Amino acid sequence: MQEQEKTHNTLITFALQSGATKAAILPAGSVRVENRLASFCHSPKCPYWGQSASCPPHVSGPSGFREMLKTCSIVLVIRLEIDSSSLHGEERPFVMRLLHETVAKTEQKAAELGFSGARGFAGGSCKPSFCGDKENCRAIEKGSCRFPEQTRPSLSGYGVNVGNLMKDAGWSTDLFNHEDDQKGRLAWVAGLILLPES
């Protein structure tokens, strides 16, 4: 048990050092998957619907995620807190890219620590952050992603209730945090890593 706790702490520390503002290990039962949340990708239609292999309709959706979740007893949830203007302005693709890269690096670290089947998921589509200057997603066209080590599937397309994860981690679920008016309003984006039993 002590060794397991040490591994968990190592993974949390790595996530924080890689760019996350917060990170926590939660029971897999904390992950709530809802069909209605995944349906929001299509109606009202997300501008990136169908534009990358990591978004609907190219992913297995809530049913597929529930199957993946069955292999886990714990998950790692991470959160990046940023100035709200960055989330809605021209910096958004760079913020989301940082999230994807942080999740991907932490997933790879989890595999090194013994979670060989670790799988990461990040908020938002990878298309505008990695291939915004490309007309098409190469993974859809040719089966090989341009950035396989950095991009991860979108949490939204699987119907994961991210607000519920924030609550279970003990973090604020408010998208805009008013705690420190001197620093301006903070917003957050989140990622999740499934940690299957070895």
- The whole-number average pLDDT for the span 56-66 is 95
Q: What percent of the chain has pLDDT over 70?
A: 94
Please provide the DSSP assignment of the chain as one string.
-HHHHHHHHHHHHHHHHTT-SEEEEEEGGG--B-HHHHHTTBTTBPTTTTSSTTSTTSS-HHHHHHHHHTTEEEEEEEEEEEEHHHHHSTTHHHHHHHHHHHHHHHHHHHHHTT-TT-EEEESS-SHHHHSTTSSS-HHHHHS--S-TTT---BSGGGTB-HHHHHHHHT----SSB-S-GGG--EEEEEEEEEEE--
- pLDDT, tens digit (0-9, with 9 covering 90-100), for 135-169: 999 999 988 999 999 999 999 999 999 999 999 99
pLDDT at res. 181: 47
Residue 43: predicted pLDDT: 86
pLDDT at 1: 65
pLDDT tens digit string along 164-190?
999 999 998 876 655 544 456 788 999
Give the model confidence (pLDDT) of 79-121 as tens digits.
Answer: 999 988 888 778 899 999 999 999 999 999 999 999 999 999 9
> Domains in the chain: how many in total?
1
